Structure 1
Amino acid sequence: MIEIKAMLQNMEAIVEEKRNTTPFNPLPHCTLHKVLSQVAPQFYTEQELAQIEEIDQSYCQVNNKKRGRSSDEGSVSHEERGVKPKRTKKREFKKKVREIVSSPPPKLPMIVENKIKELNGRDIKYVMHKELFPSDLDKEKCRLSLPVELDYLNEMEKMELKKRNEKGKLVGLGVGLLDPCFRLFSMSLRKWDMRSDSVYNLVQEWKLVLLKNKFKKDQKLNIWSFRDNDDKLHFVLDDRVIDDRVNSEESEELNNSVEIPKTSEA
């Protein structure tokens, strides 16, 4: 009990130090900041949370490289050890996003179209073909990432994403989200600016979306957007088109693989 109180006092001291220190630097107490950001994220702005996570990922990459060197030493040459998959992690992610975004738009399923019409939706757009990453399924991070290259926001909404409250936290843009079962969730779309890149994140009730659905890693979804009568932006997560596309491709491959028997001449 005494240790817990001491830890809480230490955490409060760090938070107070963070508030009085400009600019914010998580390096001196990186581990404590990481723990505190998980249990009490309200003490941090979105930008500060992004800095803490980026530093934590850098430490993980360094540790993985060290473990890789020790396990491969003696059997792998120095040149071979210089090529590490972890170093291309961000590049692979960007490449994957570009492939998903550049894929041709599928046909809007009738069941999705009818639901949008039922909600008096208009301005329907195909957003992207999304593959779920582990970070999208993390119930502690509670966010669905979307590339900033996608064009479904108007200029006023883009300006709204830059606004912050009196504590310096991003306000975000209020949007609606329909899961594959057409359950409606209230979400907040926010833009996180990293050092080398930016990303959109759907937050707020994403954890509830994960609890209601059995999403899996690498699961593929088609994401659509529309606007209601009040011009409010909504997103639709659709997993039916993926299954239909796979079944269609499998049927086509099966038909192509079947050989037509030759008729014997009389």
Structure 2
Amino acid sequence: METRMKAVRIGNGLVKSALSFPLDYAISQHAPHFYSQQELVQLHAFSKQLSSSFHQCVNSDNTPRITRKRKTQDMSKEESVVPKIKKRRVIVKSITPPPPPQELSLEFKNRINELSGRDIQFLMHKRLFHSDVKTNNNRLSMPIKEIRADFLTKEEITKLNERENGNDDGRLIGLEVTVMDPCLREYTLPMKKWSMTTNTYNLVKEWNKIVSANQFEEDHELQIWSFRVNNKLYLLLNKL
């Protein structure tokens, strides 16, 4: 046996060359009588050593790599900066107070004098809304809370609350007033008190004629005045 194999040293003993080991080991498992006791011991020891080396290689390949997370202090400034949350800008519309009443023009004053008018009062500054010039609506709204003067008599206030047939479900009768437009033209309209979002006085029925004659449009501004002729109520529209 020694004549056909080269010997190599493992530990303190000798075994066959690694090139012939697989064959010798296989033969020794089935025909051990071809080998001496010392050779069998050496083959067994070499087998254990190769098996141990094989398992070490496998374990080293399958060992998961441990990656350390970088500490916060090691991160660059760009990485550690927390993105700022942009605040939504809130646009607050400034509420412009209505301008003070202008002095009535000489034309208006002369016309009021011709009618023997008296008790002239400034009522309100009115910016026309779309609803004030919409044909289907046919009315001018005057919010009561924006009116600066007590221009109605007790009888007129009572009249504004009266309904047809004295029934609570009946239609409001309204108060008849004369409206003078910026061109000094006069119109007779009913004024009614409506309970809407806020209580309002509304000029109705013939209002579209005034809008058309004066080419009133949304955002046009009016100053509304009142005066009396023989105790009859007049409303004057002064366009700014």
TM-score (norm 1): 0.51
Which residue of structure 2 aligns with residue 64 of structure 1?
none
Alpha-carbon offset, residue 216 of structure 1 = 1.4
Bigger Rg, which one: 2
Which has the higher mean CA deviation after the structures are superposed, 175-184 or 153-162?
153-162
| Distance of 1:121 and 1:160 partners within structure 2 | 22
For structure 2, the 5+ residue unaligned runs are 1-86
- Tell me whether 1:238 sits opposite 2:234 in the alignment: no
Indicate the residue corresponding to 1:172 in structure 2: 174
For residue 213 of structure 2, what is the aligned residue in structure 1? 212
Task: Spell out, residue by residue over 1:52-94, the C-alpha distance to the aligned partner (whole angstroms, 9 max, x if none).
Answer: xxxxxxxxxxxxxxxxxxxxxxxxxxx97xx9x9xxxxxx9xx
Asked whether the equivalents of residues 126 and 225 of structure 1 are also in contact (C-alpha less than 8 Å), the reply is yes
Residue type at the aligned position of 1:113? K
Quote the Cα distance in structure 1 between the aligned partners of 2:233 and 2:111. Answer: 15
Paired letter, 1:135: S
Q: How far is 1:200 from its partner?
A: 1.0
Equivalent residue, structure 2, for 1:134: 130
CA contact (8 A) 1:186 1:204 kept: no
Match of residue 107 from structure 2:
111
The whole-number CA distance in structure 2 between the counterparts of 1:104 and 1:220 is 13
* Alpha-carbon offset, residue 105 of structure 1: 2.2
Counterpart CA distance in 2 for 1:215 and 1:171 is: 27
Letter in 1 for 2:106: M
**Pairwise CA distance, 1:204:** 2.1
Task: Using the TM superposition, give the Cα deviation of residue 109 of structure 1 relative to its aligned residue in structure 2, in angstroms.
Answer: 1.3
Task: Specify the code of the residue in structure 2 equivalent to 1:161.
Answer: L
Is the Cα–Cα contact under 8 Å of residues 191 and 198 in structure 1 kept in the other structure?
yes
Within 2, Cα distance between the matches of 1:121 and 1:204? 25
Higher helix share: 1
Larger strand fraction of residues: 2
Cα deviation, residue 213, structure 1: 1.6
SS in structure 2 of the partner of residue 144 of structure 1? strand
Deviation at 1:198, TM superposition (A): 1.1
Q: Distance in 1 between matches of 2:214 and 2:102?
A: 23
Q: Where does 1:74-223 land on structure 2 (aligned, <5 Å)?
A: 99-100=97-98, 103-149=99-145, 150=147, 151=149, 152-166=151-165, 168-194=170-196, 196-223=197-224
- The equivalent of 1:76 in structure 2 is none
Aligned partners of 2:205 and 2:184: how far apart in 1?
A: 18
Kept in 2: contact 1:134–1:217 (CA 8 A): yes
TM-aligned CA deviation for residue 211 of structure 1: 2.1
Structure 1 residue 237, shift from structure 2 partner: 0.9
Percent sequence identity is 40
Distance 1:225 1:106 in 2: 14
Q: What's the offset of the Cα at 1:112?
A: 0.8
Report deviation, 1:197: 2.0
* Conservation of the 8 A alpha-carbon contact between 2:226 and 2:233: yes
| Cα-to-partner distance string for 1:217-244 (whole Å, 9 max, x where unaligned) | 1011111110001x111111112xx3xx
Post-superposition, which runs of at least 4 consecutive aligned residues in structure 1 deviate over 6 A?
Answer: none
Kept in 2: contact 1:132–1:220 (CA 8 A): yes
**TM-aligned CA deviation for residue 158 of structure 1:** 1.1
Letter matched to residue 155 of structure 1: K
Shift in Å at residue 183 of structure 1?
A: 0.9
Q: Which amino acid aligns with 1:168?
A: G
CA RMSD in angstroms, aligned pairs only: 2.4
Q: Secondary structure at the match of 1:157?
A: helix
Q: Does the 8 A contact of 2:101 with 2:223 survive in 1?
A: no
Query: How many residues end up aligned between the 2 structures?
Result: 147
* Structure 1: tracts of 5 or more residues without a match: 1-78, 86-91, 243-266
